[in-house]
Amino acid sequence: MMDTNELEIDPDHGSSYLELAYSSIKIFANDGTVDMAELNFLLGLALKDGKIDDDERRVLGRIFEHAEKTSLGRMVRSRIQEVRRKHSI
């Protein structure tokens, strides 16, 4: 599991899609998959302004597609499905 405290967050930036993309590279480079803490970290980035915009939705969709090709825990897979439904990803 990656220490998500190592990832930098820019609270002054509106859309966080670039930050999402960059953070996902670091997460996948760590162990090739996403755990619940990492997933929640990414969702926190996307939702820090209270909504997921189109760019964030696109990046999250690609992250989810990549993650779903790996060995995910049942709860992580379920959380991804829930987020896909809730935010139309």
- Domain coordinates of the chain in residue numbers? 13-87
How far apart are the C-alpha atoms of 52 and 88, rounded to whole Å?
10
Q: What is the CA 67 to chain-centroid distance, rounded? A: 10
The average pLDDT across 64-87 equals: 96
Helix %, strand %, coil % of the chain (to 5): 65, 0, 35
- Choice among 11-25, 27-41, 55-69 with the minimum mean pLDDT: 11-25
Average pLDDT, the chain: 87
Q: Give 31-56 pLDDT, tens digit per residue.
A: 899 999 999 999 999 999 999 999 99
* Longest distance between any two alpha carbons in the chain, whole Å: 35
Q: Tell me if 46 sits within 8 A of 6, measured CB to CB.
A: no
How far apart are the C-alpha atoms of 29 and 85, rounded to whole Å?
27
